[in-house]
Structure 1
């Protein structure tokens, strides 16, 4: 057999293997299916998720101040105020209400997903005897998210009782979740913390302290406003409300450091497969299943 005929047979053999998917080379297979894979670095997902409520919050406050500051800051006392409360900014104007509801709806699904990630993460780094606290923290995180959705979509004007209950669920579960998370990560680890995890915990503690102080002072300012009707006291209350919300967002944003080296991988041929995978650029990923 001549050399030319031999080359033709080898080429034909390769074409047959390709047509019948008989290649065993993983890289060749991956290159043929690369278009089916969507990879999202978690840090980008964290930025996007937090930017939704943050952007909605900023828009609602500015829109209320621009549209009708007097109506947004009006209270039964009738004294001058300069900042709208959160309820007035997000529920007092139709445009603001729509924007805020859209932002909360879009950010809710990633929040639930991150809760699942934290459950697996905490199980792997927290001492086994503290698993009950791990489960409680994750349940509180889910309740916080559900409470936020409830008080967003049921305004105080539509149904005050449901709105009030959702607010209580949101605040109580939020405060307890943050405290339990900090306590677990501080004193219950079974492996040493990385540099990123250490940074994350320091920021968490700072935000928790600021959140609790702001919440306590906001309650005091609200009671004092209703009791004495002092000019500007409601403005102080509104500002402290902002700090409570912003520190809460900041606390959840610390997931940016906890999962900094993770990549979420979605296979469009198998949408049930959502995991983190390794990469040549970021080599220290662990799987999320």
Structure 2
């Protein structure tokens, strides 16, 4: 009887373990990160150039020069469709990365701490689902759903980043460069979430010019630092390739 293996619930024979495609994991992570990054840059730029007055309008009716992320990605076309396409395309690759982190944590964690690896994986996937939800249920049409999805995204992403930093510091000390950048991204993210919250409340309370634009800029940094945190995956899986086989896929040593 032939020897078999399973990975991600897929069963395949070792005799059929022939690669169809091999891609360096660094390029894979860069491609996945660039999808939302380029879409984000396009949506902000296009909104400022072609939808400036509508995108920067608030109930206070004071002058602002930057649109909020919700306005830029959800209120206008083609920005809305481009953002939704980018977030949809990166969803499955991100789940793959989450599963690879789970496999990695299972090799470095002690058996009684396996639950930490599973928790990190679940948080990563929930963050991804929340991002999909807030992208398709826009604030202009589905404010209640969008708001809940946004709050879930922020809370879960913070817990996930914090947990990953703890796990990497405790169980993966050899990759200090990756941990250093993760800490920087986490700290930046936390600081600008606080700043964005303060500016949002100040705008609603005092209706000062430019305050909403500063809130929007803070939002941008929150999103960009989150993307940067996830892009550090290429540091954690350096010298590995994404290999596609007849009955599955996996990361293999280069």
TM-score by length of 2: 0.90
Distance 1:259 1:274 in 2: 15
Query: Does structure 1 conserve the Cα–Cα contact (< 8 Å) formed by 2:178 and 2:235?
Result: yes
For 2:90, the equivalent position in structure 1 comes to 107
Deviation of 1:157 after TM superposition, in Å, equals 2.4
Distance 2:28 2:59 in 1: 42
For 2:249, the equivalent position in structure 1 comes to 274
State the structure with bigger RCO (CA 8 A, min sep 6), 1 or 2: 2
- Once the two structures are superposed, residues 96-134 of structure 1 have per-residue CA deviations (whole angstroms, 9 ceiling, x without a partner) of 001001100111110011010000011112333322222
For 2:155, the equivalent position in structure 1 comes to 172
For 1:139, the equivalent position in structure 2 comes to 122
Distance 2:163 2:37 in 1: 24
For 2:216, the equivalent position in structure 1 comes to 238
| Structure 2 unpaired stretches of 5+ | 1-14
Query: Does structure 1 conserve the Cα–Cα contact (< 8 Å) formed by 2:75 and 2:138?
Result: no
For 1:163, the equivalent position in structure 2 comes to 146
Query: Does structure 2 conserve the Cα–Cα contact (< 8 Å) formed by 1:80 and 1:231?
Result: yes
Aligned residues: 240
Alignment RMSD: 1.7
Summarize the alignment of residues 113-128 of structure 1 with structure 2, pairs less than 5 Å apart.
113-128=96-111
Distance 1:230 1:159 in 2: 27
TM-score by length of 1: 0.80
Distance 1:114 1:277 in 2: 13
Aligned with residue 222 of structure 1, among 197, 200, 221? 200
| Structure 1 unpaired stretches of 5+ | 1-28, 283-289
For 2:180, the equivalent position in structure 1 comes to 202
Structure showing greater Rg: 1
Structure 2 residue matching 1:276: 3-state secondary structure: strand
Query: Does structure 2 conserve the Cα–Cα contact (< 8 Å) formed by 1:101 and 1:152?
Result: yes
Aligned with residue 58 of structure 2, among 69, 72, 75? 75
Aligned with residue 36 of structure 2, among 53, 56, 66? 53
Deviation of 1:143 after TM superposition, in Å, equals 0.3
